[in-house]
Structure 1
Amino acid sequence: MKQFLLFVMMCFAFSSYAQNEFGGAKFTPIAPLNTNKVAPKKVTPSSTDAPVIKAPDLFKKPDVSLPSSSKYQIGETKSFSMEQTNDFINPGDRIRDKMTKDLDKTLVREGLREDDRLLVKIDKNFGEIRTKSKYFVVKYRDFIYVDGDLIKATLNNQMIGGIMELYSSYGQFIFDLKDGINTFELEAYSKGTSGGNTCEFKIYDDKGVLVRSEFWDNWDKGVKGKFVIVKE
């Protein structure tokens, strides 16, 4: 019985202690979040239309914008040019070309070289020769510069002696004359390597007498000199 009463008293005491510790305490409840005050974010949907692509005008010259020169640039700025140049030309070639031109002009001026710009392209009539000689001897040579000049001689449209080359010393050929009129022609058959054809020739009768001395200078290929020889 005593034990039971002791148990009841302990329970009563514990109950009173618990009320004093927790009964007087006040608890503030936490208010719930107010979701009505936050406005929802409006999302604008992206356009589904395809972007407009503008084709370039192929006939319009594009505006070329060159970059500005850098402050670290070294040397002189060269302007842009479409002209093809050779920056690696040898200065000695220019001097050589100038000396060659000057030499050519000097040779032409001194009569030691022909000038292609002044080629004679018109046939020449050397006139008439009257003689009683049975034949003529013609001596010929290149009187300026031996460069491979060739000549051709014809009498009454018949070739005499073939094609003959001119040298510094005289070559010669002989042809007989018929009574009456004989047409004798000398033709510049070629040009030499240094210009037109140059020929000096002398005509002798059957007694060795000089009948005519003539020459031509800077003749073009195919130009002819004509004599009318009358055998009396």
Structure 2
Amino acid sequence: MKQILLLIFIFFIGFTAFAQFESNTKFKPIPPANMGIKTNKTVPKAPEETPSFAPEVPSIKAPNVYDSKSIISNQKPSNSKYKIGEEKNNFTMSVENDFANPGDKYVPKMENDLDKALRSEGLKGERGILVKRNIDFGEIKTKSKFFIVKLRDFGAIDGDLVKVSSNSRVLVAQLFLESNFREIKINLDNGFNKLDFEALNIGTLGGNTAEIRIYDDQNTLMTNDYWDNLAAGFKATIMVIKEE
């Protein structure tokens, strides 16, 4: 019995020594050297969420000041026909402008009345105010024996008639002006030659209108003139001085 207890005691001592030896032989890690660098270990806070109980703010829409209906849309209807924002009746027979001068609508009638008065007095034709005066086309000096005068109506062909004279001698009593030039040969006297071109009438579309071109005996253009809206009975004159 004593031998058995001795063996158990020896076995226990040997097992304890072996366990202590085994635990001393395990690997122990070497801690890292302290380099003096500090790290921030503070964990950032998560953003706070909007509380579910926060009230929802309704959007505010500003009224349109240019739309009168939006201002009164929330008002109760009224039986009065003169309420604010009601559209007026736009039916009219004339063009209106809210910012125009009220007297402007009478201007066309006044101009029409004036136009009729000028026409009745023979002071205006269809193309404007009639010229009621003689026209001077100036002076020409030449050694030519004769001139070739060309006349035409530069406007609409409406029946214009012209009388052609030289030193009060009638060369053509009545010349009908067309769209093409009509020629007249005028022999020149020594000294002064007064050439007159008289408007015998006004055409159906207005005053007498004519273009005149004068060439010498060498077919050189000496002058090119015209008259516009000349009244009946008035003349256009050219003074020609023939030199020897």
Residue in 2 that maps onto 1:177? 188
| CA distance in structure 2 between the partners assigned to 1:156 and 1:135 by the alignment | 14
Is 2:236 the partner of 1:225? yes
Picking from 104, 116, 120, the partner of 2:131 is 120
Residue in 1 that maps onto 2:159? 148
Per-residue CA distance 1:40-94 (angstroms, 9 max, x = gap) = xxxxxxxxxxxxxxxxxxxxxxxxxxxxxxxxxxxxxxxxxxxxxxxxxxxxxxx
User: Could you tell me which amino acid in structure 2 is paired with residue 134 of structure 1?
Assistant: K
| CA distance in structure 1 between the partners assigned to 2:239 and 2:211 by the alignment | 18
| CA distance in structure 1 between the partners assigned to 2:214 and 2:146 by the alignment | 10
Residue in 2 that maps onto 1:47? none
Residue in 2 that maps onto 1:191? 202
- How many angstroms does 1:157 deviate by? 0.2
Instruction: Specify whether residues 142 and 187 from structure 1 end up closer, same or farther in structure 2 by C-alpha distance, changes over 3 A only.
Output: same
8 Å contact kept, 2:144–2:242: yes
- How many angstroms does 1:116 deviate by? 5.8
User: Could you tell me which amino acid in structure 1 is paired with residue 205 of structure 2?
Assistant: S
| CA distance in structure 1 between the partners assigned to 2:190 and 2:239 by the alignment | 13
Picking from 208, 213, 226, the partner of 1:215 is 226
Per-residue CA distance 1:89-109 (angstroms, 9 max, x = gap) = xxxxxxxxxxxx9xxxxxxxx
Residue in 2 that maps onto 1:165? 176
- How many angstroms does 1:162 deviate by? 2.6
After superposition, where does 1:1-232 map in structure 2 within 5 Å?
115=126, 117-232=128-243
| CA distance in structure 2 between the partners assigned to 1:117 and 1:167 by the alignment | 21
- Unaligned ranges ≥5, structure 1: 1-100, 102-113
User: Could you tell me which amino acid in structure 2 is paired with residue 146 of structure 1?
Assistant: I
8 Å contact kept, 1:133–1:205: yes
8 Å contact kept, 1:115–1:218: no
Query: Match of 1:198, SS?
Result: strand
- Unaligned ranges ≥5, structure 2: 1-111, 113-124
| CA distance in structure 1 between the partners assigned to 2:158 and 2:127 by the alignment | 14
- How many angstroms does 1:120 deviate by? 0.2
Per-residue CA distance 1:3-28 (angstroms, 9 max, x = gap) = xxxxxxxxxxxxxxxxxxxxxxxxxx
Per-residue CA distance 1:100-159 (angstroms, 9 max, x = gap) = x9xxxxxxxxxxxx6365000010111110000000000110001000000011000001
- How many angstroms does 1:184 deviate by? 0.8
| RMSD, aligned α-carbons | 1.4
8 Å contact kept, 2:128–2:229: no
User: Could you tell me which amino acid in structure 1 is paired with residue 173 of structure 2?
Assistant: G
User: Could you tell me which amino acid in structure 1 is paired with residue 163 of structure 2?
Assistant: K
| CA distance in structure 2 between the partners assigned to 1:125 and 1:217 by the alignment | 13
Among all aligned residue pairs of Structure 1 and Structure 2, give the percentage whose two residues are the same amino acid.
Answer: 41
Q: How does the TM-score come out when normalised to structure 1?
A: 0.50
Q: How many residues align?
A: 120
Q: How does the TM-score come out when normalised to structure 2?
A: 0.48
Residue in 2 that maps onto 1:3? none
| CA distance in structure 2 between the partners assigned to 1:168 and 1:187 by the alignment | 18
| CA distance in structure 1 between the partners assigned to 2:206 and 2:216 by the alignment | 32
| CA distance in structure 1 between the partners assigned to 2:127 and 2:144 by the alignment | 39
